[in-house]
Structure 1
Amino acid sequence: MLRTVAALADGLTTELHTDLAALPAFNPDDDRDPLPGAVAGLRTRIHAAGAVLFCTPEYAGALPGAFKNLLDWTVGDAEPDSIHAKPVGWLNVSGPAAPSGGADAHDSLAKVMRYVGANVVEAACLRLPLTRDAVGTDGLITDREARAGALAALRALRDAAG
C-alpha cells in the first residue's frame, strides 16, 4: 500500500522506510546515545518528515510485533522534530476475513499515537480491507476504492503539515 501511495503522490515527496527488520528489539535501556544505527536512521527520517503515514495489517488481533517494535522506538525520542505533535495517519489494510476487520490494530495504533502526543489526522486514518487479488503483479494496489482512500489520506496529511 505504501508503494502505491508513493506512486499516487503527485507533487509530494515521499520516503518509504524499508528497514523494519533491521530494528533491534526495543529495550528502554538502549534508548540513549549512541542509538543503534537502524533506530537512528528511523528517527532521522521521522525528524525530516513533514508528516508520517503508517500502514499496517492486523495480526492475531493486534499490531504485528515488528511494527509495534518500530513504534516503541519512537516513544522516547525527545528531539524537537520527533513524532510528538507531528501530523500522522495510517492505513490499515487488514483483509476482510480478519475477525475484527482490522479494528483492533486500528485502535491499538490510535492509542500508541495519542500516547506519544502525535497530531493524529483523523481524515488520514483509514481502514481499507484488501484481498490478495487487489495487488497487481507490480506490487501496487489495483482496487480503485483503496487507491482513492489512500490518496485522500495523503492529501489530508499534506494539508495538516501545512
Structure 2
Amino acid sequence: MKILAISGSLRARSTNNAVLRSALDLADVPSSIADIAGLPHFNPDLDCEDATAPAPVAALRRAVTDADAVLIVSPEYAHGVPGVLKNALDWLVSSGELVGKPTAVITASPFPTGGDHANAQLRETLRMLMADLVPDAHRELPAIGPKTDPALGVVTDPVTLDDLRTAVTALLTTARTTASEPTAT
C-alpha cells in the first residue's frame, strides 16, 4: 500500500501540514506528499489532445496513478477550498487518475466548524472526478491550533490522533479491498 498525500496549504508551519504528517505517520505505510506549489494555473489549452502536459502536471498525475490511496488535508480559506488545491484537482479532471481511487478528505481549522465548507466542496469536486470517497475517512477537525506542536509540526492531542488513526485505517482498508478486487478484462 502507498498513500499519496496532498496538502491544501503551502505554509511551512501549517497546522494542516502537521495533520497530514501525523496521519501519514499513523498509517505506517509508504507514502509521499505531492508538490502542488509549482503547478501552472490550469489552462485547457495546455492539456488538449495535441499538447504535452507541463512537467509538474505530469509528475502529479504519475504520483496519483502510482498511489493506492489519496489523502487530502486542507485548510478552509474564506469558506472555500484554497486556490492552489483546486488548481491541482482541475489538472486531474480530464486525465482520469482519480477514477476509483480510494480518497479521504480531512480539513482542519482554528474555528469550531473544522473547515466544513471546504470539506464539502472538496468532496463534491472529488465525486465529479469519480474518486472512491471513503466516508469513514473524512474528518473536519475544529480548533486545531492547540492540538499541534508547531516546533515539531505534528498533532499532539491524543483524541485527535485517535481520530486520525481511525480515518487512515478506513482509507487503507478500502484501498486494500480495492487492490484485491479482480480487474475487468
Q: CA deviation at 1:101?
A: 4.0
Mapping of residues 147-158 of structure 1, within 5 Å: 147-158=161-172
CA distance, structure 1, for counterparts of residue 23 and residue 121 of structure 2: 22
Q: CA deviation at 1:73?
A: 1.0
- TM norm structure 1: 0.89
Q: CA deviation at 1:134?
A: 2.0
Q: Which amino acid aligns with 2:33?
A: L
Aligned length: 155
Does structure 2 retain, via aligned residues, the 8 Å contact 1:92–1:106?
Answer: yes
- TM norm structure 2: 0.79
Alignment-derived partner of residue 39 in structure 2: 23
Q: CA deviation at 1:132?
A: 2.3
Q: CA deviation at 1:138?
A: 0.8
User: CA 1:125–1:131 in 2, change beyond 3 Å: closer, same or farther?
Assistant: closer
Does structure 2 retain, via aligned residues, the 8 Å contact 1:63–1:108?
Answer: yes
Unpaired stretches in structure 2, ≥5 consecutive residues: 1-18, 177-185
1:90 aligns with 2:105: yes
Unpaired stretches in structure 1, ≥5 consecutive residues: none
Alignment-derived partner of residue 9 in structure 1: 27
Alignment-derived partner of residue 124 in structure 2: 111
User: CA 1:61–1:69 in 2, change beyond 3 Å: closer, same or farther?
Assistant: same
CA distance, structure 1, for counterparts of residue 114 and residue 86 of structure 2: 19
Q: Which amino acid aligns with 1:28?
A: P
1:131 aligns with 2:144: yes
Q: CA deviation at 1:135?
A: 1.9
Does structure 2 retain, via aligned residues, the 8 Å contact 1:113–1:120?
Answer: yes
Deviations 1:65-90 (A, max 9, x none): 11111111111114xxx101111011
